[in-house]
Structure 1
Amino acid sequence: MFALKTAVQAPLRLVLSCRPAKGRALIELLLLALPVLLSLALALGLSEREIQQRAALLADLALDRSAHITTQISDAFRAMHVYAPAKACSASSVDFMRSVDLSSSLLQGVGFLSRDALQCSSLGSVPTYVGPPDYISATNTSFRRDRTLAEARRTKLLLVSDSDGYTALIHPSLLFSLERTDSSAPQGLVALSNRQTIIARGDLTIDWRSTAMDGMAGIIIQDGWVVAWQRSPKWDHFAYAAVASGTLYDTFATMCLIFLPLGAAGSLLFVVANRRLTAARESLPSQLRNGLRHGELVVVYQPIVELATGRWVGAEVLARWRRSNGEWVSPDVFVPIAEQHGIIRELTRTVLALSIEDFGSHFIGLEEFYLSINISSSDLAAPDFADEVAQAVVSRGLSPKCFHLEVTERAEVKLEAEVAGINSLREQGFAIGIDDFGIGYSNLAYIDRLAIDYIKIDRVFVANSTRDTLGRGVLEHIIDIAQDHRLTAIAEGIETGQQLADLIARGVAYGQGYLFARPLPIVQFVSLLREQAGRDGTVVKGRAA
């Protein structure tokens, strides 16, 4: 960036210093090149800001998740102190640990540690030496990174213990972003008071002791990474996340294809370039609002399958945003932005409208087929939401039973508002589920209050179920929760035949994932659905695919 700014400033200084009689031709040449140089500088500046915003968003997500994990650790410690340390590993105490574990959606287990060994836990009672702590906080909380237990030897866990030895077991992957494109991005938590690393992912090493950190958030550049950090307003730590600066050049190259021809065309086209730059400089929330108004949001469909037969019984509707420059923006980026900036109602309304239109045009005749659509807690809190959705469905001549609504737990709202919203939707005839169960803010007390029909088992638990004992145990806990509450369980992210066989053996009836089909545009989806329906003897009416 500095080199390009210098390239712009140097010609300006030369132009101002030239004498008219001596350098007229040079001045005219530089003035002709100036719009191109300015376009390059502005395009690069915008690309840098977009990379910084992406890193800041990842840091914010990690900090938000760490806050909820910390709260659940504190609640677990408070609950386990019912038993004195001397009786922490009694049979009744271990049984109580299991109940604490089940009620904590972001913890993989709880236990008791003394003399640098985990003496017992909700996963089992085999003592495991875990060594001295890597870090002890100002509150005498100890942290042990990358520890393995006898019950899960191939899974590295973070162990957090209070001064009495009560310990929480955390899978580090739940702290960081689950977005596949960011799976290798360095992220971590660092103690603010002494700048010691609590937990980190990736190869990036930063000397936080010598890093100036004024305010609540900031950006630094190091070793080819754009690093965003953000302080916790409550706890003694901050989160950081890094995005490779090399991705900047891809964005910059795309912008250059637009701005270079405009700059070379002269002052008139330079005005057009400035207008495009102004639009590009808008914030992501403003771009999302504009994208919704201009039809940039599209939906794709991933089949929901009856696992025992392979029959497609429904489809999850997935939103995709393609910006006007052709760039695809991940839902893990634009959905949190929509929730944080009050755009989620408009986003939900758009997805519902597209889904209802597609169902009325393509799925008539499949009486038991349904579409599942994500809604947010903010949608449920709106008093007119249920009536609005029902009116949109009925006005198209469709039945609410053809649409299942899945609550996504990215943001917390008052439980009473969710209960009222879900009850209103069920009265209208909609089936209700909880999406990504186990990684949001839902827990046993939460689902006890909500009148729901099913839960979606998040892909991270399905993926880990065939890798280690701990992963299988977590999955079985979630299946037990569904069965105990008489809820249908739908597994997400099924990618292998082994995962499919294990889920069927555990009594999971439905699922979705790349093993069956990737998310498809409506035309491709309907074509495959017609082939299957034809084999089953079902008549599918609607437009030809």
Structure 2
Amino acid sequence: MKTIVSEAIAQRATEIADTASVVRDVGSIQDPPCSAAFLDQVRVILLRSRGVKDVAYQADGKLLCSSSLGSRAQSIPPLAHPDFVAPNGWRLWVSAELAQAPGVKAMVLNADHVVVARLPNIDPPAMLGRRHQLSIVRIGPMGSVVTGNGPVVGLSETALRAGKPIITSERMLVSACTGWLCYVLSMRWSDVALAHASTLAAAAAGGALLGIIGAALVQYWITRHASMDRALRRAMQRRELELHYQPIIDTSTGTCVSAEALMRWFRKDGSQVDTSEFIEVAEAGGFAIDLFLLAVRLASQDLSTFLRFNRNFKVSLNITANDLLEPQLFQILHEYFELRGIHPNQIALELTERRIVDTAAQADSIRKLREAGYLIHIDDFGTGYSNLSYLSDLSVDCIKIDRSFTRHVTDGSSQSRIVPPMLEIARELGLAVIVEGVETEEQRLYFADRNVKRMQGWLFAAPMPAEALLPLAGRQIWAPPRAQDLPATT
């Protein structure tokens, strides 16, 4: 089955290959440039094209004629700086407004004397927004490279800023940078090549065209990313975001002892926006702290009365490493929790391991939070740092085994062999353990046999609104199946 990214590349490759074909055909015309015979042949070439709408001829940086305007094209001003320049000098504007058609935007390719404008196809929804396909990378002081979101790309600043595709036996990476922020798309090259070998071969025949395809993909994603940024900010103003809570169960008793607060975005039409995508946008846009503050306010609003009368129940909130540097963090927690009668030890702050702290100020903030009584959990444990000494350095309270390990614990894979050492590390450091993503009885039994009691997942309960959680909180909501109900083993 073709993947979303495969389709995206195929679409861009088809557009670029068709455009390159027009460039080559126009370049082979023997009649004098801009003569009547020349323009007639250009118009015949356009009839064969699947998307090119106009072709112009230029010399010394000035347009001399075009298939739509003839010699009147000389009055069209040159375009601004291109979005991408290939090593062979070809230039690409991903979305340029056409002077001859105000309000109409087109992809423009300039190759030597030929300038081609085509109307790009509409992107399928969420074409490039999947978290596992995109990495957002920050370039820090002295050229340090830190992956803020998505898979670690392992590229240097020079490689990132070069913008050239990097192809390995498994993946194709393309990047685009704006200042200190770079976007990197990672694609399964083997799938793409198998599904679209002929299309990509035609596109790659242009030498630098593979780079142009990559630049077009990244630029289209950036455009879509900016649109999502604006939509998310509006959604926050319109109160379209709300918290759902997934129960965490003590499986020794079946009691719902805590819950994780998860942000959800429901549009006015009832549709739901992918959570990982809008969280990613907020982090890249620098306003993830606003989401955290919203989560604090909503959790307090939803649960403060219940928490005041149920001191053993806890709620966990997701927080980013950068949120730890918010000057008003402690004041906000104090105002929305402590002043409303909620003890700090009823609130756990979940810090994702993939974006763990990397400054002394962030580590100091964690220490102060724990001194104030707040609990610190490391979320998605096992997906980030390979050096686990930071667990003792930060003095955290709990680790949460990521669902990517949970789903494999019973299949004998390499991921299943990693879980026992994780549990041993937690025991040696005296840390509590919560298992995420428990969906089957086999997974539950695996961890129960290893003395892990607290679990979270669809086997027990899905995320739910506060009004659905409250009747369940602090009560037994699950019981293990009876022996006679378990499937027979041979």
Q: Say which of 468, 486, 489 aligns to 1:524.
A: 468
Contact 1:405 1:433 in 2 (8 A): yes
How far 1:142 moved relative to its partner?
A: 9.5
2:338 aligned partner, one-letter code? V
**Which residue pairs with 2:158 in the alignment?**
none
Cα distance in 1 between the residues matched to 2:407 and 2:121: 35
3-state SS of paired residue (2:256): strand
- The answer to whether 1:471 aligns with 2:415 is yes
**Which residue pairs with 1:107 in the alignment?**
none
2:317 aligned partner, one-letter code? I
Structure 1 gaps, min length 5 = 7-40, 72-138, 146-157, 159-185, 191-196, 220-227, 231-239, 242-279, 536-545
How far 1:524 moved relative to its partner?
A: 1.6
1:398–1:531: structure 2 CA closer, same or farther, 3 Å change rule?
closer
Q: Say which of 210, 213, 227 aligns to 1:213.
A: 210
Cα distance in 1 between the residues matched to 2:260 and 2:363: 23
1:46–1:284: structure 2 CA closer, same or farther, 3 Å change rule?
farther
**Which residue pairs with 1:188 in the alignment?**
187
1:519–1:389: structure 2 CA closer, same or farther, 3 Å change rule?
same
Cα distance in 1 between the residues matched to 2:215 and 2:349: 38
2:362 aligned partner, one-letter code? E
Q: Say which of 381, 390, 408 aligns to 1:446.
A: 390
Contact 1:409 1:442 in 2 (8 A): no
1:530–1:426: structure 2 CA closer, same or farther, 3 Å change rule?
closer
Contact 2:256 2:472 in 1 (8 A): no
- The answer to whether 1:292 aligns with 2:236 is yes
- The answer to whether 1:317 aligns with 2:261 is yes
2:446 aligned partner, one-letter code? D
**Which residue pairs with 1:379 in the alignment?**
323
3-state SS of paired residue (1:516): coil
Aligned residues: 327
How far 1:367 moved relative to its partner?
A: 1.4
Contact 1:56 1:229 in 2 (8 A): no
1:218 aligned partner, one-letter code? A
Contact 2:248 2:257 in 1 (8 A): yes
Bigger drift between 445-454 and 285-294 goes to 445-454
3-state SS of paired residue (1:48): coil
**Which residue pairs with 1:332 in the alignment?**
276
Cα distance in 2 between the residues matched to 1:308 and 1:189: 43
Structure 2 gaps, min length 5 = 1-10, 16-49, 52-104, 106-118, 138-146, 156-165, 172-184, 480-490
Cα distance in 1 between the residues matched to 2:474 and 2:448: 26
Q: Percent identity?
A: 28
Contact 2:303 2:466 in 1 (8 A): no
**Which residue pairs with 1:85 in the alignment?**
none
Contact 1:321 1:328 in 2 (8 A): yes
1:461–1:416: structure 2 CA closer, same or farther, 3 Å change rule?
same
1:509 aligned partner, one-letter code? K
Cα distance in 2 between the residues matched to 1:502 and 1:311: 19
Q: Say which of 344, 361, 367 aligns to 2:288.
A: 344
How far 1:343 moved relative to its partner?
A: 1.2
Instruction: Please give the per-residue CA displacement for 1:55-110, whole angstroms capped at 9, x wherever unaligned.
Output: 58654239957873648xxxxxxxxxxxxxxxxxxxxxxxxxxxxxxxxxxxxxxx
1:429–1:442: structure 2 CA closer, same or farther, 3 Å change rule?
farther
RMSD: 4.1
3-state SS of paired residue (2:215): strand
Instruction: Please give the per-residue CA displacement for 1:310-347, whole angstroms capped at 9, x wherever unaligned.
Output: 11110011110112343211111011111110110100
Cα distance in 2 between the residues matched to 1:375 and 1:442: 21
**Which residue pairs with 2:335 in the alignment?**
391
1:457–1:52: structure 2 CA closer, same or farther, 3 Å change rule?
closer
1:50–1:388: structure 2 CA closer, same or farther, 3 Å change rule?
farther
- The answer to whether 1:417 aligns with 2:361 is yes
Contact 1:386 1:421 in 2 (8 A): no
1:393 aligned partner, one-letter code? F
Contact 1:386 1:428 in 2 (8 A): no
Cα distance in 2 between the residues matched to 1:386 and 1:366: 23
Contact 2:225 2:281 in 1 (8 A): no
1:499 aligned partner, one-letter code? Q
- The answer to whether 1:68 aligns with 2:152 is yes
1:49–1:419: structure 2 CA closer, same or farther, 3 Å change rule?
same
How far 1:432 moved relative to its partner?
A: 0.5
1:188 aligned partner, one-letter code? M
Q: TM-score, normalised by structure 1?
A: 0.53
Cα distance in 1 between the residues matched to 2:461 and 2:441: 13
3-state SS of paired residue (1:316): strand
Instruction: Please give the per-residue CA displacement for 1:373-423, whole angstroms capped at 9, x wherever unaligned.
Output: 100111012243233222321222221111111012454653323211111
Bigger drift between 482-491 and 438-447 goes to 438-447
2:440 aligned partner, one-letter code? T
1:312 aligned partner, one-letter code? C
Contact 2:318 2:351 in 1 (8 A): yes
Instruction: Please give the per-residue CA displacement for 1:481-534, whole angstroms capped at 9, x wherever unaligned.
Output: 21121111100011111111110111212111011001111122222337649x
Contact 1:372 1:406 in 2 (8 A): yes
**Which residue pairs with 2:448 in the alignment?**
504
3-state SS of paired residue (1:502): helix
Cα distance in 2 between the residues matched to 1:57 and 1:315: 24
1:55–1:344: structure 2 CA closer, same or farther, 3 Å change rule?
closer
3-state SS of paired residue (1:401): helix
Q: TM-score, normalised by structure 2?
A: 0.58
Cα distance in 2 between the residues matched to 1:397 and 1:403: 12
2:210 aligned partner, one-letter code? M
**Which residue pairs with 1:51 in the alignment?**
125
**Which residue pairs with 1:93 in the alignment?**
none
Cα distance in 1 between the residues matched to 2:130 and 2:458: 30
1:47–1:142: structure 2 CA closer, same or farther, 3 Å change rule?
closer
